[in-house]
Amino acid sequence: MDKDIVVVIGVGGMGRAIARRIGNGRKILLADVSEGALSVADVLLGEGQDVVTQVVDVSSRDSVAALADTAAGLGRVTQIAHTAGLSPTQASTEAILRVDLLGVALVLDEFARVVAPGGAGVVIASMAGHMGGLTPEEERIVAVTPTDELLALPFFEPDVLGSPGAAYSKSKRANIVRVQAAAGPWGDRGARVNSISPGVISTPMGQEELAGESGEQMRMMVSMSAAKRLGTPDDIAAAAAFLLGRDASFVSGTDLLVDGGTVAAIRPLLPVS
């Protein structure tokens, strides 16, 4: 009997944890821009998982479309987890826009073609998308703008954004908006799609941010949060397993904050725009 296909895009800490959490009994298609990063497949194979890999550049429609076609050729594409992204300490404003903004929109487009009825997708956004970002009018524009025109929107121009941090926050807010907009097209196929907004998570990317210029601010936010700790990749994997599973069959087009109560603590302190 053919196995259901789980697609995990981005094989950092969250991607690996999600693959382990939901991959049992299914065929896992791991995708990443780095061929070296895909060596994690050897670890998963050693743990008894059924894994194949493919290199993908999420900023390229052709590359994302090829990944979606590969997934469909393997079997029923029932679960898609898009975890790939760049943080402000890792990349320029332009690169963050290409990967975090355009890349998510392309994945939503191309996997809407191949997701099986009853299937589900989840996109990793960020709690940054809940603390400022886009105006209501900008959100409306982001929701309806064709994917290939997103980077041409004036409020996403690098000179207007001014910094990688601003590009990251606006891109992550846009992720939430695009997932909401994608719920209808995915629903037309009998599928669901949602996003997760992690807080400060102890992944290699998270540790890099903590060691960077924003590290002190991030540690302060953690100390103010209800949980008073860093999140773990398993925290995110548990949320993804819920949203991708049958227990969430009536949940689509929504965002789940998994931040230990950080936004709840910080939002009242933010300036009113």
Residue 272 has pLDDT above 70, yes or no: no
Rounded Cα distance, 79 and 63, in Å: 19
Is residue 270 one of the residues assigned to a domain? Answer: no
How do residues 28-65 score in pLDDT, each as one tens digit? 999 999 998 889 999 999 999 999 999 999 999 999 99
Asked whether residue 159 is domain-assigned, the answer is yes
Three-state DSSP state, 232: coil
Rounded Cα distance between 46 and 166, Å, is 41
pLDDT digits (tens, 9 = 90+) for 152-170: 999 999 999 999 999 999 9
**Count of domains forming the chain:** 1
pLDDT at residue 234, rounded to an integer:
97
pTM: 0.94
Distances (CA, A) of 272 to 132, 172, 268, 269: 9, 20, 9, 9
168 is catalytic: yes
Q: Is residue 273 part of a domain?
A: no
Which of 3, 168, 170, 228 is an active site residue?
168
Report pLDDT digits (tens) over 175-216: 999 999 999 999 999 999 999 999 999 887 778 778 877 788
> Which residue would you say has higher pLDDT here, 84 or 215?
84
- Separation of alpha carbons 67 and 14, rounded Å: 20
Q: Distances from the Cα of 144 to the Cαs of 49, 77, 82, 99, 221, in angstroms?
A: 39, 26, 21, 19, 33
Task: Given the residues 3, 27, 170, 172, select the one marked as catalytic.
Answer: 172
Give the number of other CB atoms < 10 A from CB of residue 223: 11
Per-residue confidence (pLDDT) for residue 273, from 0 to 100: 58
CA nearest to 11, candidates 59, 46, 51, 48:
51
For residue 88, tell me if it sits in a domain. yes
Sheet of 5-9: strand order equals 50-55, 27-32, 5-9, 77-82, 115-124, 192-198, 255-258
For position 112, which CATH number holds?
3.40.50.720
Residue 154 structural domain: 5-265
Please provide the average confidence, as pLDDT, over all residues in the chain: 95
Instruction: Determine the pLDDT at residue 142.
Output: 99
Asked whether residue 272 is domain-assigned, the answer is no
Per-residue pLDDT tens for 105-118? Answer: 999 999 999 999 99
Q: Is 160 helix (H, G, I), strand (E, B) or coil?
A: helix
Any catalytic annotation for residue 3?
Answer: no
